[in-house]
């Protein structure tokens, strides 16, 4: 299920983010920090994927610092996967690399995660429920069992990020995964929330010969206990 009203419409974008306890300026500042951090990486002497790693770290660091001042909490699942938690909204937020469809409305086409996700992400996405189910459970008279771990009762949203080399822009969206494919990619979404415009970068931001998305994202391929 795709909430197309939240893809590319300014008023819907702000309103849908507010439901998650997020603000557009927070995300935009994090994207700027990501681009700045990428620029600190030596283009001549660094490892090929280092710019992507720098960019990921810059975004996560900025997002974590800002949200910490807005009532969110930060956890590192299995010691490697940074997740921001909003206890009031029961929202969990992670950051990952998306493909070229990230942030774009293209009919029934949907973006995909750039890399296959590990069992840790698969487990979390498997717990996600649609917004309609959330509203139903909120009105339900049934008692909820005591949580088994710190993310029980949370929906995992992903901030998909894509660095477009040709258009010189950073695209993003905040979206709720519905399921992972057999090969581990996130391709189906309950809801997609994308901005009306994207973050522009300078002409020299990305090296021509390299893919600026390479290396961006968390190393979440770790073993977890089965559900």
pLDDT 10s digits, 36-90: 999 888 777 888 889 999 999 999 999 999 999 999 999 999 888 999 999 999 9
Query: Residue 8: what pLDDT?
Result: 54
Q: Which helix (H) or strand (E) holds 93?
A: strand 91-97
135 versus 40: the higher-pLDDT residue is 40
Q: In the chain, what percentage of residues exceed pLDDT 70?
A: 83
Q: How far apart are CA 207 and CA 111, in angstroms?
A: 24
pTM: 0.86
pLDDT grade for 116, boundaries at 50, 70 and 90: very high
Q: In the chain, what percentage of residues exceed pLDDT 90?
A: 63
Q: How far apart are CA 176 and CA 125, in angstroms?
A: 9
Outline where the chain has alpha helix (H): 10-19, 24-39, 50-68, 119-126, 131-139
Query: Residue 220: what pLDDT?
Result: 64
Both structure tokens of 163:
């660095």
Q: Are 217 and 102 in contact (CB under 8 A)?
A: no
Q: How far apart are CA 93 and CA 70, in angstroms?
A: 14
Instruction: Indicate the SS3 state at residue 5.
Output: helix
Q: How far apart are CA 189 and CA 201, in angstroms?
A: 28
Token pair 């280092």 in the structure block, residue = 50
Backbone angles phi, psi at 66, to 5 degrees: -65, -45
Both structure tokens of 146:
């005591």
């Amino acid at each position: 299920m795709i909430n197309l009203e939240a893809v590319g419409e300014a008023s819907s974008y702000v309103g849908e983010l507010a439901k998650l306890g997020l603000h557009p300026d927070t995300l935009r500042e994090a994207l700027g920090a990501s681009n700045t951090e990428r620029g600190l990486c030596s283009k001549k002497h660094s490892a090929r994927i280092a710019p992507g790693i720098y960019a990921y770290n810059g975004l996560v660091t900025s997002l974590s610092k800002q949200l910490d001042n807005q009532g969110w909490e930060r956890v590192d699942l299995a010691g490697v996967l940074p997740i921001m938690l909003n206890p009031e909204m029961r929202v969990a937020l992670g950051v990952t690399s998306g493909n070229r469809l990230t942030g774009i409305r293209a009919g029934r086409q949907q973006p995909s995660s750039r890399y296959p996700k590990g069992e840790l992400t698969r487990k979390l996405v498997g717990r996600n429920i649609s917004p309609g189910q959330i509203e139903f459970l909120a009105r339900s008279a049934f008692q909820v069992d005591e949580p088994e771990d710190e993310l029980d009762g949370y929906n995992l949203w992903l901030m998909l990020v894509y660095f477009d080399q040709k258009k010189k822009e950073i695209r993003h969206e905040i979206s709720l995964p519905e399921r992972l494919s057999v090969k581990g990619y996130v391709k189906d979404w309950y809801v997609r929330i994308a901005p009306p415009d994207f973050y522009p970068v300078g002409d020299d931001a990305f090296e021509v010969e390299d893919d600026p998305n390479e290396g961006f994202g968390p190393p979440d391929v770790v073993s977890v206990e089965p559900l």
